[in-house]
Structure 1
Amino acid sequence: MTLPQGRDFRPPWPLKSGHIQTMLSSSGIRRTLLPRYAYNVLEGAQPVVVDGGEGVRLTGAFTAQKAQATSRGLAVLFHGWEGSVDSTYVLQTGSRLLADGWDIFRLNFRDHGDSHALNEALFHSCRIDEVVHAVGDIARRWPSRAMALAGFSLGGNFALRVALRAPAVGIPLNYALAVCPIIDPSEGLFSLEESAPWFYQAYFMSKWRHSLRAKQAAFPQREYFELQELKQSLRGLTEAMVLRHTDFDSLEAYLNGYSVAGRALAAMQIPATILTARDDPVIPVTAFEKLELPGSVELDIADYGGHCGFIRGWDMTSFCDDYIAARFNANAGG
C-alpha cells in the first residue's frame, strides 16, 4: 500500500502561500465553504467528561461510527492551543475517519472549549500527566481493536508526549500522528514574536486573553492575573503566568518542560508520524530538521501547507484528512 507523502501536496496558486494556508485553516470563511460531510462527526456525538486523575476532569465528545459492521478502532483527536473539539480541522479530520469506520473521541484540554469552570487551576502546556490519564480513561471506557491518536500544533506536541509515555502506563496505543507540532517551545515563542507577521501573535493573544477572562469569571474568588499583566506581550504574559501558576522558577524551565526537541523522542516505541510544512510561518522548520528520531518515527516535511492548513482548493478540504486516514488505516491492518 502506497501512503500519501507531504511532497504529494501541490496546491494551486495562491494556496501555495504559507500565510494564506495558515490564515484559512481556522477561518470563518473555511467553516462556511466546507462541504456538509466535513461536519458528520457532530451527528450523534455524545458529550463526555473523562478522568484526568487527582480530581481533574476533562471534557470531550465520542461519536460511534456507522459506516461498517465492525469499527476499525478508536481515533483520538487533540486540538491546538486555544482550539477545541469543535475546531474546524478537528471536525473535518474526525468526519473523514468516521467515514472510514473509526469511532472518534475528540478531547478538550483543560480550559479549552467551554470547560473553564471544571478545574480551578489554570491550563498550561506541561500538564501532560492529566492528558495521559485521560487517554487511559478513554481507552478503558471505549476498548477497541486499534487505537490511534492525532494532534495539531500544540495538540501534536501533546500527542507525541502521550505516545512516548503510553507503553509505560499500559495505554494500548497503536499509532500517533502529529501535524505541525510545537517542537522547541522557546524557539517557537521567539519565532512568533520576532519573525512571524504581527497578526499571528495578535490572533493568539486575543484568544488567550479571552480564555483567561473566562477562567476568572468561572472562579471569581481567585486572582489569576492582574489587569496590567493582560496588556503584556506573548512572552511577558507567558512568563507572568508561569511564575504565578506553575512550579517552574523561570520561563526557560517551563518551555523546556514540554519540549520534544533534539533526542527527546529517541525512546519512542510506538510507530508515529510527524507532518509539517517548510512554509509554516508559526513553527520554524529548523526545529524539525534538528530532530534525532528512532526508526519508528517518520518525519515528513512538505513544501507547502502553512501551519495546520494543507488546504487543497476552494472547497477548503484538507490534504491532511486523507493523509491521516491512510496512515490510521494502515496501522489498523488495512
Structure 2
Amino acid sequence: MNLLHGKDFRPPWPLSSGHIQTMLSSSGVRRVLLPRAAKSVLRGAEAVVVDGGGGVRLTGAYTAQQTRPQSRGLAVLFHGWEGSVDSTYVLQTGSRLLADGWDIFRLNFRDHGDSHGLNEALFHSCRLDEVVHALGDIAARWSARPMALAGFSLGGNFALRAAMQTSRVGIPLSYVLAVCPIIDPGEGLFSLEESAPWFYQAYFMRKWRHSLLAKQKAFPQHQYFEMSELKQHLRGLTESLVLRHTDFNTLQQYLDGYSVAGDAMRAMQIPATILTARDDPVIPVSGFEKLELPANVELDIAPYGGHCGFIRGWGMTSYTDDYIATRFNAVADAAVPAG
C-alpha cells in the first residue's frame, strides 16, 4: 500500500475551512454520524490499569485483534488535552488499525477519562516520566511487535517526547506518528489567547475547569485552587497551576519544559512522522516550519485539515485513519523477515 501524504487531502467545501474541520473534529455531531465500524475498538476492550512508576497508576483500554492469525503489532494511541481513550478520533483510529490486524492500547493520561481519583497530584504537561514508564509496562505486558505509537495534539507532543526516551530506557518502540502536535507551548498558548477565535479558548477552559472540579471532588481534603483562580483565563490558570503544583519557578520555564521546538527532536532515534495542517487555527504552522529535524523525522504539512480534523465528508470519517494505517502497516511489513 502506498503511503498517503498531507497534500493529497482535498476536502469538499465547506470542509475546506480549518475552523469547520476543527469544530467538527470533537463534536457530538461527528460522534453520532460516525459509522459503526469506527467504534469497533470498543467491542471486547479490556479496561486496565498500568504502572506509571513511583506509585502512579494510569488507566487504559486494550483490544486484541481478531482478523488475522497473528497480530501485525501493538498500536498505542495517545489522546489530546482533556480528551480520553473514548475520544472520537482515538476510537476511529483504533478501529481502523484493529481492522488491519493491530492489537490496540489506548492510554489515558493522569486525570483524563474517569481517572481523577487514582493519583492525588494534578496532571500537567511535563509529567513525561510516568508516561514513558507506562509505555514500558505496556510493552512488557502485551508482546505483539512491532510497537508503534500515535498521538494527537498534546498527545502528539507527549508521543514525540516519549519516543526520544524509549531507546534510552530499552522500550522497543519502532515508530511514532504525531497529528497536529503542540510544538512550542508558549506560542500555542499565545495563539489561543490572541489570534484564535474566542470560542476555542472557551471550549478548552470549560473542559479544563470541569476536570479540575472532578479532581477536587475526588480528593476533598486537598485544596487544588482557590475559586478566584478557577475564574481566570487560560494563561492565568496555567500560571497558577505552575506555581502551585510544579517545581518550575515561572510559567515560561514550564512551557519550555514540554517544548519540542527548534532542534529538540534531533535526539529522535527511531523513524517518526509529524502531520499537521497549514490551516490549523489552534497550533500555528510557523512552529513546524522552524523545526530542525534529523533525516528519520518526516514533516508533512497538509494545506487543509484544521486541528486534528482531516474530515473527508459528511460521513465524518477522517483522512488520518488511512494516513496512520498505511504508515503503521509499512512498519509492520518491514519487520516481517524475508522468505
Q: TM-score range by the shorter chain?
A: over 0.9
CA positional deviation for 1:48:
0.3
Secondary structure in structure 2 of the residue aligned to 1:62: strand
Cα-to-partner distance string for 1:187-219 (whole Å, 9 max, x where unaligned): 000000000000000000000000000000000
Question: Which residue does the alignment assign to 1:267?
Answer: 267
Counterpart AA for 1:109: F
Post-superposition CA distance 1:69-99 (Å, at most 9, x none): 0000000000000000000000000000000
Contact 2:185 2:255 in 1 (8 A): yes
SS of equivalent to 1:249: coil
Measure, in 1, the Cα distance between the counterparts of 2:235 and 2:40. 38
Distance 2:35 2:2 in 1: 27
Q: Which residue of 2 aligns with 1:152?
A: 152
- The offset of 1:251, in angstroms, is 0.2
Structure 2 match to 1:108: 108
- Give the C-alpha shift of residue 270 in structure 1: 0.5
The answer for the alignment partner of 2:2 in structure 1 is 2
CA deviations over 1:100-120 (Å, ceiling 9, x no partner) = 000000000000000000000
- 1:230 equivalent in structure 2: 230
- Amino acid in the other structure paired with 2:2: T
> May I ask how many residue pairs the two structures share in their alignment?
334
2:337 aligned partner: none
Which segments of structure 1 move beyond 3 Å, counting only runs of 4 or more? none
Whether contact under 8 Å (2:74, 2:104) holds in the other structure is: yes
CA distance in 2, matches of 1:233, 1:94: 34
2:68: which partner in 1? 68
Give, as a single letter, the amino acid of the residue that structure 1 aligns with 2:59. Answer: T
Over aligned residues, Cα RMSD in angstroms? Answer: 0.5
The equivalent residue for 2:135 is: 135
In structure 2, distance between residues paired with 1:256 and 1:207? 24
- Aligned partners of 2:303 and 2:285: how far apart in 1? 10
Aligned residue number for residue 19 of structure 2: 19
Counterpart amino acid of residue 152 in structure 2: F
Task: State how far apart, in whole Å, the 2-side matches of 1:272 and 1:238 are.
Answer: 30
> Match for 2:228: what amino acid?
Q
User: For 1:236-315, what aligned pairs fall within 5 Å after superposition?
Assistant: 236-315=236-315
The residue type paired with residue 172 of structure 1 is P
- In the alignment, structure 1 residue 183 sits paired with structure 2 residue 195: no
SS at match of 1:189: helix
Q: Which runs of no fewer than 5 residues in structure 2 stay unpaired?
A: 335-339
Q: Deviations over 1:7-52 (max 9, x none)?
A: 0000000000000000000000000000000000000000000000
1:145 is displaced (CA, Å) by 2.2
Which residue in 2 is equivalent to 1:200?
200
Partner of 1:30: 30
Shift of 1:267: 1.4
The CA deviation at 1:275 is: 0.0
TM-superposed CA distance for 1:54, in Å, is: 0.2
What percent identity do the matched residue pairs reach?
A: 80
What code does the residue aligned with 1:246 have?
T
> What CA distance in whole angstroms lies between the structure 2 residues aligned with 1:20 and 1:194?
20
Deviations 1:202-252 (A, max 9, x none): 000000000000000000000100000011010000000110000000000
Paired amino acid for 1:13: W
For each residue in 1:239-282, what CA deviation from the matched residue of structure 2 results, as whole angstroms up to 9, or x when unmatched?
00110000000000000000000000001111000000000000
Contact 2:277 / 2:306 at 8 angstroms: preserved in 1? yes
Q: Secondary structure at the match of 1:217?
A: helix
What's the offset of the Cα at 1:170? Answer: 0.4
1:2 positional shift: 2.5
Aligned to 2:213: 213
Any conservation in 1 of the 2:76–2:149 contact (CA below 8 Å)? yes
* Structure 1 match to 2:126: 126
On the 8 A contact 2:2/2:326 being kept in 1, the answer is no
